[in-house]
Amino acid sequence: MRERALSKQTLTINVVATVAPEPIVSKLELRSVSRTFHAQSGDINAVDNVSLRVKRGEFVCIVGPSGCGKSTLLNLFAGLDQPTSGKVLMDGVAINGPGPDRVVMFQEHGLFPWLSVRGNIEFGLRLKGLSKERCREIARHWLRIVHLDRFENSYIHQLSGGMKQRVALARSLAMDPEVLLMDEPFTALDAQSRDLLHEELEQVWSSTGKTIVFVTHNVREAVRLGDRIVLMSFRPGRIMKEFRINLAHGRHVEDIEVAASATEIMAHLRAEIDRAFEEERPA
Protein backbone atom coordinates (compact mmCIF):
# COMPACT_ATOMS: atom_id res chain seq x y z
CA MET A 1 0.00 0.00 0.00
CA ARG A 2 2.82 2.38 0.87
CA GLU A 3 4.53 1.71 -2.45
CA ARG A 4 1.24 2.34 -4.31
CA ALA A 5 0.71 5.62 -2.44
CA LEU A 6 4.21 6.76 -3.28
CA SER A 7 3.70 5.95 -6.94
CA LYS A 8 0.66 8.24 -7.03
CA GLN A 9 2.53 11.22 -5.61
CA THR A 10 3.35 13.99 -8.01
CA LEU A 11 6.92 15.18 -8.00
CA THR A 12 7.19 18.88 -8.70
CA ILE A 13 10.50 20.33 -9.90
CA ASN A 14 10.99 24.05 -9.93
CA VAL A 15 13.26 24.96 -12.78
CA VAL A 16 14.84 28.39 -12.44
CA ALA A 17 15.85 29.75 -15.81
CA THR A 18 19.27 31.32 -15.77
CA VAL A 19 19.42 34.31 -18.09
CA ALA A 20 22.87 35.41 -19.12
CA PRO A 21 23.38 39.15 -18.59
CA GLU A 22 23.39 41.19 -21.75
CA PRO A 23 26.90 42.24 -22.77
CA ILE A 24 27.70 45.88 -22.06
CA VAL A 25 27.81 47.74 -25.35
CA SER A 26 30.58 50.31 -25.52
CA LYS A 27 29.77 53.78 -26.77
CA LEU A 28 32.70 53.55 -29.18
CA GLU A 29 34.70 50.52 -30.14
CA LEU A 30 37.57 49.54 -32.41
CA ARG A 31 37.77 45.82 -33.17
CA SER A 32 41.12 44.68 -34.56
CA VAL A 33 41.35 47.81 -36.69
CA SER A 34 44.19 48.41 -39.15
CA ARG A 35 44.58 51.30 -41.59
CA THR A 36 47.07 51.34 -44.43
CA PHE A 37 47.65 54.34 -46.68
CA HIS A 38 49.08 53.99 -50.17
CA ALA A 39 51.81 56.45 -51.12
CA GLN A 40 54.36 56.76 -53.92
CA SER A 41 57.10 55.78 -51.52
CA GLY A 42 55.17 52.64 -50.52
CA ASP A 43 52.40 51.58 -48.20
CA ILE A 44 52.23 53.22 -44.79
CA ASN A 45 50.70 51.11 -42.05
CA ALA A 46 49.34 53.89 -39.82
CA VAL A 47 47.62 51.68 -37.23
CA ASP A 48 47.83 47.93 -36.82
CA ASN A 49 45.36 45.59 -35.12
CA VAL A 50 44.07 48.14 -32.62
CA SER A 51 41.21 47.20 -30.29
CA LEU A 52 39.78 49.80 -27.95
CA ARG A 53 36.53 50.31 -26.06
CA VAL A 54 35.28 53.67 -24.81
CA LYS A 55 32.45 53.60 -22.29
CA ARG A 56 29.50 55.95 -22.40
CA GLY A 57 30.39 59.20 -20.62
CA GLU A 58 34.10 58.36 -20.43
CA PHE A 59 36.85 60.91 -21.08
CA VAL A 60 39.65 59.06 -22.90
CA CYS A 61 42.91 60.71 -23.97
CA ILE A 62 45.12 59.21 -26.68
CA VAL A 63 48.81 60.12 -26.55
CA GLY A 64 51.87 59.04 -28.49
CA PRO A 65 54.68 60.30 -30.72
CA SER A 66 54.09 61.93 -34.10
CA GLY A 67 53.15 59.30 -36.65
CA CYS A 68 51.58 56.85 -34.19
CA GLY A 69 48.09 57.06 -35.72
CA LYS A 70 46.31 59.14 -33.06
CA SER A 71 44.51 61.33 -35.58
CA THR A 72 43.81 58.30 -37.76
CA LEU A 73 41.89 56.68 -34.91
CA LEU A 74 39.93 59.88 -34.36
CA ASN A 75 39.03 60.08 -38.06
CA LEU A 76 37.84 56.48 -37.96
CA PHE A 77 35.57 57.24 -35.00
CA ALA A 78 34.31 60.33 -36.83
CA GLY A 79 33.50 58.31 -39.95
CA LEU A 80 35.80 60.55 -42.01
CA ASP A 81 37.88 57.48 -42.88
CA GLN A 82 37.30 53.73 -43.07
CA PRO A 83 39.58 50.95 -41.78
CA THR A 84 41.54 48.73 -44.13
CA SER A 85 40.46 45.86 -41.89
CA GLY A 86 38.52 45.48 -38.65
CA LYS A 87 35.39 47.25 -37.42
CA VAL A 88 34.58 50.66 -35.97
CA LEU A 89 31.39 50.73 -33.91
CA MET A 90 29.16 53.15 -32.03
CA ASP A 91 26.59 51.63 -29.67
CA GLY A 92 27.38 48.30 -31.30
CA VAL A 93 26.53 49.54 -34.82
CA ALA A 94 29.13 49.95 -37.57
CA ILE A 95 30.20 53.54 -38.33
CA ASN A 96 30.02 54.04 -42.08
CA GLY A 97 30.34 57.80 -42.30
CA PRO A 98 30.02 61.10 -40.43
CA GLY A 99 26.90 61.78 -38.39
CA PRO A 100 25.40 64.45 -36.11
CA ASP A 101 25.90 62.14 -33.13
CA ARG A 102 29.68 62.79 -33.43
CA VAL A 103 31.34 66.19 -33.71
CA VAL A 104 35.05 66.75 -34.36
CA MET A 105 36.97 69.72 -32.98
CA PHE A 106 40.33 70.20 -34.72
CA GLN A 107 43.44 72.17 -33.81
CA GLU A 108 42.46 74.76 -36.42
CA HIS A 109 39.19 76.30 -35.31
CA GLY A 110 37.68 76.39 -38.82
CA LEU A 111 35.42 79.36 -38.05
CA PHE A 112 33.82 81.40 -40.83
CA PRO A 113 35.37 84.90 -40.87
CA TRP A 114 32.38 86.47 -42.65
CA LEU A 115 30.01 85.46 -39.83
CA SER A 116 29.73 86.90 -36.36
CA VAL A 117 30.55 84.81 -33.30
CA ARG A 118 26.89 83.97 -32.82
CA GLY A 119 26.46 83.38 -36.54
CA ASN A 120 29.21 80.76 -36.47
CA ILE A 121 27.46 78.87 -33.69
CA GLU A 122 24.05 79.16 -35.37
CA PHE A 123 25.33 77.92 -38.74
CA GLY A 124 25.06 74.19 -38.02
CA LEU A 125 21.83 74.64 -36.10
CA ARG A 126 20.17 76.25 -39.11
CA LEU A 127 21.29 73.34 -41.28
CA LYS A 128 19.36 71.13 -38.84
CA GLY A 129 16.24 73.14 -39.67
CA LEU A 130 15.78 74.86 -36.31
CA SER A 131 13.92 78.14 -36.18
CA LYS A 132 15.79 81.42 -36.07
CA GLU A 133 14.63 82.02 -32.49
CA ARG A 134 15.71 78.55 -31.34
CA CYS A 135 19.12 78.93 -33.01
CA ARG A 136 19.67 82.23 -31.21
CA GLU A 137 18.59 80.74 -27.88
CA ILE A 138 20.99 77.79 -28.15
CA ALA A 139 23.88 79.93 -29.38
CA ARG A 140 23.51 82.40 -26.54
CA HIS A 141 23.33 79.57 -24.00
CA TRP A 142 26.67 78.14 -25.09
CA LEU A 143 28.26 81.56 -25.38
CA ARG A 144 27.41 82.09 -21.72
CA ILE A 145 28.95 78.71 -20.87
CA VAL A 146 32.27 79.68 -22.52
CA HIS A 147 32.08 83.25 -21.17
CA LEU A 148 31.79 84.96 -24.55
CA ASP A 149 28.23 86.27 -24.41
CA ARG A 150 29.50 89.87 -24.63
CA PHE A 151 31.18 89.06 -27.94
CA GLU A 152 28.25 87.50 -29.81
CA ASN A 153 28.24 90.25 -32.47
CA SER A 154 32.03 90.35 -32.86
CA TYR A 155 33.82 88.90 -35.88
CA ILE A 156 36.48 86.21 -35.74
CA HIS A 157 39.40 88.50 -36.62
CA GLN A 158 38.57 90.57 -33.53
CA LEU A 159 39.18 87.64 -31.16
CA SER A 160 42.31 86.21 -29.54
CA GLY A 161 43.40 82.65 -30.27
CA GLY A 162 41.93 81.38 -27.02
CA MET A 163 38.62 83.12 -27.68
CA LYS A 164 38.44 81.59 -31.16
CA GLN A 165 38.84 78.10 -29.69
CA ARG A 166 36.13 78.87 -27.14
CA VAL A 167 33.81 79.79 -30.02
CA ALA A 168 34.77 76.53 -31.75
CA LEU A 169 34.00 74.61 -28.56
CA ALA A 170 30.64 76.37 -28.20
CA ARG A 171 29.83 75.60 -31.84
CA SER A 172 30.63 71.91 -31.34
CA LEU A 173 28.58 71.63 -28.16
CA ALA A 174 25.62 73.55 -29.61
CA MET A 175 25.05 70.64 -31.99
CA ASP A 176 24.44 68.46 -28.91
CA PRO A 177 26.48 65.46 -30.09
CA GLU A 178 26.65 62.25 -28.10
CA VAL A 179 30.39 62.07 -28.74
CA LEU A 180 32.95 64.88 -28.89
CA LEU A 181 36.14 64.01 -30.79
CA MET A 182 38.97 66.48 -30.14
CA ASP A 183 42.20 66.50 -32.18
CA GLU A 184 44.82 68.54 -30.28
CA PRO A 185 42.43 71.50 -30.02
CA PHE A 186 44.47 73.51 -27.49
CA THR A 187 48.01 72.96 -28.78
CA ALA A 188 48.54 76.42 -30.24
CA LEU A 189 47.22 78.31 -27.21
CA ASP A 190 49.15 80.07 -24.49
CA ALA A 191 49.17 78.45 -21.05
CA GLN A 192 46.58 80.79 -19.57
CA SER A 193 44.06 80.24 -22.40
CA ARG A 194 44.68 76.50 -22.31
CA ASP A 195 44.02 76.32 -18.56
CA LEU A 196 40.76 78.23 -19.00
CA LEU A 197 39.59 75.90 -21.75
CA HIS A 198 40.55 72.88 -19.66
CA GLU A 199 38.26 74.12 -16.90
CA GLU A 200 35.39 74.90 -19.26
CA LEU A 201 35.67 71.58 -21.08
CA GLU A 202 35.73 69.66 -17.79
CA GLN A 203 32.67 71.53 -16.51
CA VAL A 204 30.75 70.78 -19.70
CA TRP A 205 31.77 67.13 -19.59
CA SER A 206 30.78 66.68 -15.93
CA SER A 207 27.41 68.41 -16.43
CA THR A 208 26.41 66.71 -19.70
CA GLY A 209 28.00 63.26 -19.42
CA LYS A 210 29.14 63.34 -23.03
CA THR A 211 31.67 60.82 -24.27
CA ILE A 212 34.95 62.52 -25.17
CA VAL A 213 37.97 61.17 -27.05
CA PHE A 214 40.83 63.67 -26.85
CA VAL A 215 44.05 63.39 -28.86
CA THR A 216 47.09 65.27 -27.56
CA HIS A 217 50.90 65.28 -27.57
CA ASN A 218 50.88 66.83 -24.12
CA VAL A 219 50.99 64.12 -21.45
CA ARG A 220 50.28 66.53 -18.60
CA GLU A 221 47.22 67.78 -20.47
CA ALA A 222 46.03 64.18 -20.81
CA VAL A 223 46.49 63.51 -17.09
CA ARG A 224 44.79 66.83 -16.28
CA LEU A 225 41.66 65.90 -18.26
CA GLY A 226 41.24 62.18 -18.76
CA ASP A 227 39.71 59.23 -16.93
CA ARG A 228 41.96 56.95 -18.95
CA ILE A 229 45.05 57.47 -21.09
CA VAL A 230 45.80 55.24 -24.08
CA LEU A 231 49.48 55.20 -25.02
CA MET A 232 50.28 54.50 -28.68
CA SER A 233 53.53 53.19 -30.15
CA PHE A 234 55.29 54.72 -33.14
CA ARG A 235 54.27 53.56 -36.61
CA PRO A 236 52.62 51.18 -37.08
CA GLY A 237 50.45 52.52 -34.26
CA ARG A 238 49.53 49.97 -31.65
CA ILE A 239 48.26 50.34 -28.10
CA MET A 240 51.28 49.92 -25.85
CA LYS A 241 49.65 50.51 -22.49
CA GLU A 242 46.63 52.07 -20.81
CA PHE A 243 46.67 54.14 -17.63
CA ARG A 244 43.68 54.68 -15.37
CA ILE A 245 43.82 58.14 -13.77
CA ASN A 246 42.41 57.84 -10.26
CA LEU A 247 42.89 61.46 -9.26
CA ALA A 248 39.81 63.51 -8.40
CA HIS A 249 38.66 65.88 -11.12
CA GLY A 250 39.36 69.57 -10.71
CA ARG A 251 43.05 68.88 -11.35
CA HIS A 252 45.60 71.38 -12.61
CA VAL A 253 48.68 70.75 -14.72
CA GLU A 254 50.83 72.16 -11.91
CA ASP A 255 49.55 69.65 -9.33
CA ILE A 256 52.21 67.37 -7.88
CA GLU A 257 50.05 64.29 -8.47
CA VAL A 258 49.47 65.26 -12.11
CA ALA A 259 53.19 65.81 -12.64
CA ALA A 260 54.04 62.45 -11.03
CA SER A 261 51.55 60.57 -13.23
CA ALA A 262 52.79 62.38 -16.33
CA THR A 263 56.38 61.46 -15.48
CA GLU A 264 55.43 57.78 -15.17
CA ILE A 265 53.68 57.82 -18.55
CA MET A 266 56.56 59.69 -20.20
CA ALA A 267 58.95 56.98 -19.03
CA HIS A 268 57.02 54.52 -21.21
CA LEU A 269 56.69 56.98 -24.06
CA ARG A 270 60.30 58.19 -24.27
CA ALA A 271 61.64 55.27 -26.32
CA GLU A 272 58.84 55.67 -28.88
CA ILE A 273 59.54 59.40 -29.23
CA ASP A 274 63.23 58.65 -29.82
CA ARG A 275 62.33 56.03 -32.42
CA ALA A 276 60.04 58.46 -34.23
CA PHE A 277 62.76 61.13 -34.20
CA GLU A 278 65.37 58.78 -35.63
CA GLU A 279 63.11 57.49 -38.39
CA GLU A 280 61.84 60.89 -39.49
CA ARG A 281 65.21 62.67 -39.29
CA PRO A 282 66.49 63.60 -42.76
CA ALA A 283 69.22 61.27 -44.05
pLDDT one-digit tens code per residue, 49-61? 999 999 999 999 9
pLDDT of residue 14: 46
The mean pLDDT value for 19-42 works out to: 80
Question: pLDDT band at 23, cuts 50/70/90?
Answer: low
pLDDT of residue 280: 67
Pick from 55, 37, 54, 38: nearest CA to 46: 37
C-alpha dihedral, 65 to 69 to 70 to 72, nearest 10°: 160
- Report the C-alpha gap between 183 and 142 in whole angstroms: 21
Phi, psi of 31 (to 5 degrees): -115, 105
Q: Are 170 and 180 in contact (CB under 8 A)?
A: no
Question: Is the pLDDT confidence value at 253 over 50?
Answer: yes
pLDDT of residue 108: 79
- Report the C-alpha gap between 232 and 216 in whole angstroms: 11
Query: Mean of the per-residue pLDDT values for the chain?
Result: 88
pLDDT of residue 275: 74
Sign of the dihedral defined by the CA atoms of residues 217, 250, 205, 33, in that order: positive
Question: pLDDT band at 83, cuts 50/70/90?
Answer: very high
Least confident of 34-43, 51-60, 166-175, 206-215: 34-43
Structural domain boundaries of the chain? 60-84+99-280
pLDDT one-digit tens code per residue, 163-197? 999 999 999 999 999 999 999 999 888 888 899 89
The rounded percent of the chain whose pLDDT value lies above 70 is 90
Architecture of domain 60-84+99-280: 3-Layer(aba) Sandwich (3.40)
Pick from 275, 215, 236, 216: nearest CA to 74: 215
